Amino acid sequence: MAASVSDACKQSVKRAPLNTTSFQKKTRNKLLSIPGTRLSVQNGQLLVSTGVTSLDYLLGGGLAVGTVLLIEEDRYDSYSRMILKYFLAEGVVCQHQLFLAAAQDHPNDIFQELPDPILDDVVMHKPADPPRLSCDPQDSFDAMKIAWRYQNLPKVQSVLASSSRFGHYYDVSKTMEPEMRQAAKCHHFYHSEHPSQPSATHSPVLEPYAALLKSIEEVISREGFSVAAPMTQSRNILRIGLHSLGSPLWGDDLCFQDKPKHSHALTTFLYGLRALLRSSLAVAVVTVPSHLIQNSSLMGSITRLCDNAIALESFKGSERETSPLYKDYHGLLHVRQVPQLNCLTSQLPDHKDLAFKLKRKQFSIERLHLPPDLSETVSRVSRGELAGAAAGGSACGSANKHLDF
């Protein structure tokens, strides 16, 4: 594993120095130590965490810098929005910069809903909480009865920067502290604030997305995320979250027309985004309401323009919610595409049947397996039968089970 990284380093040293994309393997002597990133052990790519550790594992260690992750939304956009919030929260914790674009809610509303990270080893500046001194012997005796000699040690451990860990856990029942959120630099783009104006120079990217692409490009060049920018300033990663692209709220007619007027608006934008990201230290997560898009080949071309693609299918509102097969999970997760990053092979997942569950402190993605059948009456119901029965109506399924001979 380590050999491949050093091999990659030697290879990139031998190559001509003019590398202007962010996809280069980082050589050892100019290793950029950007907080919150690490090198992949498989192919030496620079990775960032998505905020969900099981998703990181699925993607081969993390999201490679310069790539786009496409999430096909579930029916009510609950879990895809959750993953987007995890992604942004991870950026706050790792001190990356954030860019969020949305058409439905104002990005500030989404920022206020970010989950609270579970950090036990970070010095948080809490002015309201004065450090408790052990000047009061009674107190100290009450505090520690056995290890009382350790009472005098400082309460907070030595500074372990939050970014030294890769991937954090979040508590979704609480929202992030405002101070922590404001410490991170956030840019946002709210679609209603940018009314479509006929620009002087006609951009081929069609109107709903032209302003968005321009705004992203401005942020990248202004804040110095471009790989071609001078190396003197300290580098950081820009995390771009694009919520619900392709939905009618963006002004695109993909979702309600069989033959949309400008079917290539979104795909041209995604091409421009890919071009921007390949030459910047940025990562993008895009969610698309694929269940609304009528044209299946269009979804295929959107998927091919992104690097990683996953689809979420939640059980909410469907008969599967009450099915005993799926009672441990909230939905299914399909891996649509894995990227090829600077090599011929890609990190194919081991299994394709995955299910996810949103717990309070973890979004876990596991392999779906049948629970053991421990009921008294042996119900020989296969998975396909159960799904078929569920579609037809649960009444016949239960009636069959009560047949007694």
Partner 1 sequence: MFAELNSILNVSPEDFSRGEFVLLSDRQSDASFLIHHFLGFYLRAGCQVCFVALAQSLSHYTAVSQRLGVSLSQAKEKGQLVFLEGLNESLSILNPHDARKGSEAMDFLRNPSAGLQSLVQFVSSSFSHARSAVEGANDGHGPPVLLVDDVSLLLSLGATVDAVLDFSHYCRAAVCSRLKGNVVMLLRCDGENDVESDDDSERLLRGLTHQCSLALHVRSLPTGYCRDIHGQVEVCDRRRQADSQQKKKTFQYKVHDRGASFFAPGTSSAVL
Q: Is 166 helix (H, G, I), strand (E, B) or coil?
A: coil
Residue 225, interface with partner 1 (CB under 8 A)? no
160: how many CB neighbours lie within 10 A of its CB? 13
Among candidate residues 128, 124, 109, the one with its CA nearest the CA of residue 177: 124
Nearer Cβ to partner 1 (265/285): 265
Residue 382, interface with partner 1 (CB under 8 A)? no
The backbone region for 293, taken as left when phi is positive above 0, alpha when psi lies in -120 to 50, beta otherwise, is beta
Residue 213, interface with partner 1 (CB under 8 A)? yes
Residue 352, interface with partner 1 (CB under 8 A)? yes
Q: Are 40 and 60 in contact (CB under 8 A)?
A: yes
Min dist CB 122 to partner 1, Å, is 36
Min dist CB 112 to partner 1, Å, is 31
Residue 224, interface with partner 1 (CB under 8 A)? no
Min dist CB 248 to partner 1, Å, is 21
Tell me which of 157, 196, 345, 398 binds partner 1, using CB under 8 A. Answer: 345
Edge-to-edge strands, sheet with 46-48: 37-39, 46-48, 63-64
Q: Residue 119 contacts by C-beta under 8 Å, 6 or more apart in sequence?
A: 93, 162, 168
CA dihedral 175, 179, 180, 184 (to 10 degrees): 120
Min dist CB 266 to partner 1, Å, is 9
End-to-end CA distance of the chain: 60
d(CA 304, CA 323): 34
The 298-317 contact track toward partner 1, x by CB under 8 A, reads --xx-xxx------------
Min dist CB 347 to partner 1, Å, is 11
The stretch near partner 1 (CB under 8 A) out of 157-165, 171-179, 230-238, 276-284 is 276-284
Pairing of strands 170-175, 68-72: unpaired
Among candidate residues 180, 68, 66, 47, the one with its CA nearest the CA of residue 119: 180
d(CA 11, CA 1): 16
Min dist CB 192 to partner 1, Å, is 23
Residue 78, interface with partner 1 (CB under 8 A)? no
Nearer Cβ to partner 1 (68/88): 68
Min dist CB 201 to partner 1, Å, is 4
Residue 268, interface with partner 1 (CB under 8 A)? yes
Residue 343, interface with partner 1 (CB under 8 A)? yes
Q: Which of residues 145-204 bind partner 1 (CB under 8 A)?
A: 199, 201-204
Nearer Cβ to partner 1 (54/280): 280
Give Cα 152 to chain centroid, integer Å. Answer: 42
Pairing of strands 46-48, 37-39: antiparallel
Nearer Cβ to partner 1 (80/268): 268
Among candidate residues 317, 310, 323, 325, the one with its CA nearest the CA of residue 365: 310
Q: Residue 280 contacts by C-beta under 8 Å, 6 or more apart in sequence?
A: 22, 66, 220, 225, 226, 227, 238
d(CA 127, CA 129): 5
Min dist CB 317 to partner 1, Å, is 27
The stretch near partner 1 (CB under 8 A) out of 120-128, 131-139, 346-354, 397-405 is 346-354
Min dist CB 19 to partner 1, Å, is 6
CA atoms within 13 A on the CB side of 17: 1
Q: Total residues contacting partner 1 (rule CB under 8 A)?
A: 45
Q: Which of residues 1-40 bind partner 1 (CB under 8 A)?
A: 11, 15-16, 19-21, 23-25
Residue 278, interface with partner 1 (CB under 8 A)? yes
Residue 297, interface with partner 1 (CB under 8 A)? yes
Edge-to-edge strands, sheet with 354-358: 186-190, 97-102, 238-242, 282-288, 68-72, 308-314, 331-337, 354-358, 363-367
Residue 205, interface with partner 1 (CB under 8 A)? yes
Q: Would you tell me which residues interact with partner 1 (CB under 8 A)?
A: 11, 15-16, 19-21, 23-25, 199, 201-205, 213-214, 217, 264, 267-268, 271-272, 274-276, 278-279, 296-297, 300-301, 303-305, 340-346, 348, 350, 352
